[in-house]
Amino acid sequence: MIDIKFLRENPEIVKENIKKKFQDAKLPLVDEVIELDAQSRKAKQEADDLRASKNKISKEIGGLMAQGKKEEAEALKAQVAANAKRLAELEAIEPELQEKVKTIMMKIPNIIDASVPVGKDDSENVEIEKFGDPVVPDFEVPYHADILNSIAGLDKDSAGRTSGNGFYYLMGDAARIHSAMISYARDFMIDKGFTYCIPPFMIRSDVVTGVMSFAEMEAMMYKIEGEDLYLIGTSEHSMIGKFQGQIVEEASLPIAMTSYSPCFRKEVGSHGIEERGVYRVHQFEKQEMVVLCKPEDSMDWYNKMWSYTVEFFRSLDVPVRTLECCSGDLADLKVKSCDVEAWSPRQQKYFEVGSCSTLGDAQARRLGIRTKGENGTYLVHTLNNTVLATPRGLIAFLENNVKADGSISIPKALQPYMGGKEVIYPIKK
């Protein structure tokens, strides 16, 4: 969420930013919120003036009564009564105006970084760099569901009966690889100096609206019926919410955390849910990284964070590339974002396995997360990045490590988490 003072003083910059994000329908919101803000500040000033005059007039009444000037004192009493009535009106109006301002401000997108390429949607994202050679083997790489089935590792039929489409059972060595990757991702980030955390998997609505836009919330989140609780779509939600309303000491920054959680998403949209595979599902597991830092350090952390994901996948023999998200592909709270995409030798193209974002002080402003240092109190910057989201990460691993005979090689980095196994062979039927 943008600072209202910045919007008030720079409406044209805010409008130009809205245009860059191809959200022209939101342009009238800028003028609307400026008018409401003016009304809110005027009401507050009038209320403050009335409160300040109350004691002054009360003293005058006392003085007049002491001098026997009863009629003049009664006139002032009538004025006090009228002022009290007006103050009550203003005290009712103030929160209504403030809430209207807040609601509109939460719909206006954050100011994107000057380096973000302008584009309408993800089709206009820009490749930054490739890491590792995107090899196309001399044999046909099977569909990931077929690789999993070859080791008796996937059961979607049973999941369909218990939970419906978009769910799955992972079995045997497939489940073990999945868990091994998560454990390795956890230790990988701990070795980078991040504090490991397992957060709550449900959060309240004020935390949800603090970390994401209304549109994202409706498209992603599952609500618990009858309670003010939502299932998280990523542990970033809980991890940022942990600091809601807090003042953290400047000396404690940066705060770098890595968190594990299951994640739950509606996956609403034209892409739909896969019938056979596990690329797009309602439930998955994720190792995340979250950083709270000083504003001047956020871009340095942004670059470090996405590079950790690249390093992680390269250690699993998976070629990747980074893709700069264009303006139209950025969620409203984001200042800058890039995707890490893994090479699919089967499809001979890249697909997303992680996303790194800096959100400036937008989440901190919504949630009231501040830090206190020698120069006073100010809002922190927040960043988040995917280390590993699986089964999507599992798909990348399988496609890049399956061999012509159907066996799956286990990279050295993962072998300690697989009981020393170097190869997994298909189950003969």
- On whether the CB atoms of residues 273 and 267 are closer than 8 A, the answer is yes
- Residues with Cβ within 8 Å of 19's Cβ and at least 6 positions away in sequence, in order, are 27
Mean pLDDT of the region 164-187: 96
**pTM metric for this prediction:** 0.89
The dotted CATH code for 122-424 is 3.30.930.10
Res 367 pLDDT > 80: yes
- On whether the CB atoms of residues 175 and 237 are closer than 8 A, the answer is no
- On whether the CB atoms of residues 396 and 406 are closer than 8 A, the answer is no
Helices 172-191 and 392-401: crossing angle in degrees, nearest 10, is 100
Q: Which CATH class is domain 4-105?
A: mainly alpha
Element spanning 36, H or E: helix 27-66
- Residues with Cβ within 8 Å of 41's Cβ and at least 6 positions away in sequence, in order, are none
Which pLDDT band, with edges at 50, 70 and 90, does 216 fall under? confident
Mean pLDDT of the region 23-45: 96
- On whether the CB atoms of residues 398 and 368 are closer than 8 A, the answer is no
d(CA 398, CA 278): 12
d(CA 366, CA 361): 9
pLDDT in tens, 81-138: 788 888 898 999 999 999 999 999 999 999 999 999 999 999 999 999 999 999 999 9
d(CA 285, CA 393): 10
> Within 10 A of 275 (CB to CB), how many other CB atoms are there?
10
Residue count (the chain): 429
d(CA 233, CA 321): 24
Cα→Cα distances 64→80, 83, 84, Å:
14, 19, 20
Domain ranges of the chain: 4-105, 122-424
Q: Which of 295, 306, 309, 310 is nearest to 361 (CA)?
A: 295
Helices 70-105 and 27-66: crossing angle in degrees, nearest 10, is 160
pLDDT score recorded for residue 270: 43
Same CATH fold assignment for domains 4-105 and 122-424: no
* Rg, Å, the chain Cα set: 28
Cα→Cα distances 12→9, 40, 119, Å:
9, 21, 20
For residue 295, cis peptide bond before it (omega within 30 degrees of 0): no
Which pLDDT band, with edges at 50, 70 and 90, does 273 fall under? low
Tokens 């006392």: give the residue: 62
CA angle 272, 330, 289 (to 5 degrees): 85
Res 43 pLDDT > 70: yes
pLDDT score recorded for residue 123: 95
